[in-house]
């Protein structure tokens, strides 16, 4: 049974929603013997992109401090086509949805103008003293809404 894709309504329309990207240089250690990028490397790329996205919006202190941290609640990747060592990669990152204490993030790995992999996941803001979820600060919420042009 195949899982329904979150890449909707089609890859081109979905990609058009992204405004932020970073280049990714595939390192030799991230590949297998056939020169393919190893499946676990995609998740490292997602993490790198997510952190750079939040840094770009100036949200490091809002989401990562002594009082609160962001933790990954779930993360998935749909592998659509092979990626190789020398492929020029771009990783697109966007916030798709804001909850009370959670942020749904989507990722698109593109090489040679082709969507090679799509990812999605949720991070949850946790109070470091209580270990419980805590609301996203209004300043972070507004920065994300403004950047993503959310209602």
For the chain, the domains span 11-148
Q: Is 107 exposed, middle or buried (0-12, 13-18, 19+ CB in 10 A)?
A: buried
Residues 6+ apart with CB under 8 A from 68: 125, 126, 127, 128, 134
What class is the 11-148 domain? alpha beta
- What DSSP designation does 65 have? S
Short-list 41, 55, 60, CA closest to 117: 41
Residues 6+ apart with CB under 8 A from 128: 66, 67, 68, 69
Residue numbers of the chain with a pLDDT score lower than 70: 1-2
pTM of the model: 0.95
């Amino acid at each position: 049974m195949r899982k329904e894709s979150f890449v909707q309504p089609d890859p081109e329309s979905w990609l058009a929603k992204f405004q932020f990207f970073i280049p990714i240089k595939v390192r030799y250690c991230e590949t297998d013997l056939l020169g393919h990028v190893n499946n676990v490397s995609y998740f490292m790329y997602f993490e790198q992109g997510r952190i750079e996205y939040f840094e770009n919006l100036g949200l490091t202190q809002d989401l990562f401090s002594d009082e609160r941290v962001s933790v990954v609640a779930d993360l998935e990747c749909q592998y659509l086509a092979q990626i190789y060592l020398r492929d020029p990669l771009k990783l697109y990152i966007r916030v798709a949805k804001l909850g009370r204490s959670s942020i749904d993030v989507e990722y698109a790995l593109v090489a040679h103008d082709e969507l090679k992999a799509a990812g999605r996941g949720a991070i949850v803001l946790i109070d470091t003293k209580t270990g419980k979820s805590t609301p996203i600060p209004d300043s972070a919420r507004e920065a994300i809404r403004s950047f993503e042009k959310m209602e």
